[in-house]
Chains A and B, each alone.
Chain A
Amino acid sequence: EPEVTQTPSHQVTQMGQEVILRCVPISNHLYFYWYRQILGQKVEFLVSFYNNEISEKSEIFDDQFSVERPDGSNFTLKIRSTKLEDSAMYFCASKFSGREIGNEQFFGPGTRLTVL
């Protein structure tokens, strides 16, 4: 069964460093998402991506964040200068179509980012 994959599973970085979180969405999916979950809190939407551009973004997704689909299969989230409060689980998700509201998003296993 096709699945969303994410690498690495755990990333530890120093405050102020840049990190890139990688995702490979399901191959025929067209919509891509990043969510984050701070430990013990709810899952929060960061950004959605469609047709090679950002479709929607939340207020969390400030200038320190960027997304890219560099090669047609990977979907990356870059944090330019990490802060302690960026420590969280980051989930990538994808879905096939935007037309049906019930079209489910498939989530990857997550990358746990720890900023020291």
Chain B
Amino acid sequence: AQKITQTQPGMFVQEKEAVTLDCTYDTSDPSYGLFWYKQPSSGEMIFLIYQGSYDQQNATEGRYSLNFQKARKSANLVISASQLGDSAMYFCAMRVLSSGSARQLTFGSGTQLTVLP
């Protein structure tokens, strides 16, 4: 079974500063993908970034980057130059190859990020 752990229920960051949201995972499957989703107060789930287990480089998407440390089984999200609109719940999720072709996501418990003006 797969497990995602997000140990920070809440984080605060000053506007324009960088922030790191932690995510650790556990799986015995050698092939997996790691995702981060943003959930604003309106409730929708917004895909942010993806990292594959075999990717050699850390994923980046604009102000989002993923600090992937495979040996430590961690996939932390780094948001640079925080903006007030980044205030939201952030979920780390994982998909493994052995979960069938549909490959559903397993989510962590989330981190509530608040950006302070």
Contact = CB atoms under 8 A, between A and B. Distances in A.
Contacts, number: 71
B33 A102 contact: yes
Contacts of A45: 104-106
28 contacts: A31-B101, A33-B102, A33-B104, A35-B107, A41-B109, A42-B107, A43-B45, A43-B93, A43-B105, A48-B104, A50-B101, A50-B102, A55-B101, A56-B102, A56-B104, A98-B103, A101-B95, A101-B103, A102-B33, A102-B50, A104-B47, A107-B44, A107-B47, A109-B42, A110-B43, A110-B44, A110-B45, A112-B43
B99 interface: yes
Nearest to B43: A110
B101 A98 contact: yes
B25 interface: no
Contact of A43 (B31, B96, B100, B107): B107
B91 A43 contact: yes
The size class of the interface chain A forms with chain B is: 20 to 34
A18 interface: no
Interface of A: 31, 33, 35, 41-45, 48-50, 55-56, 89, 91, 93, 98-99, 101-102, 104-110, 112
A106 B35 CA distance: 12
Given A101-B32, A101-B97, A48 B102 contact: yes
Given A102-B52, A112-B43, 20 more contacts: A42-B91, A43-B93, A43-B107, A45-B106, A50-B101, A55-B102, A56-B99, A56-B102, A56-B104, A93-B45, A98-B102, A98-B103, A99-B101, A101-B96, A101-B97, A102-B50, A104-B50, A105-B105, A108-B44, A109-B44
A50 B32 CA distance: 20
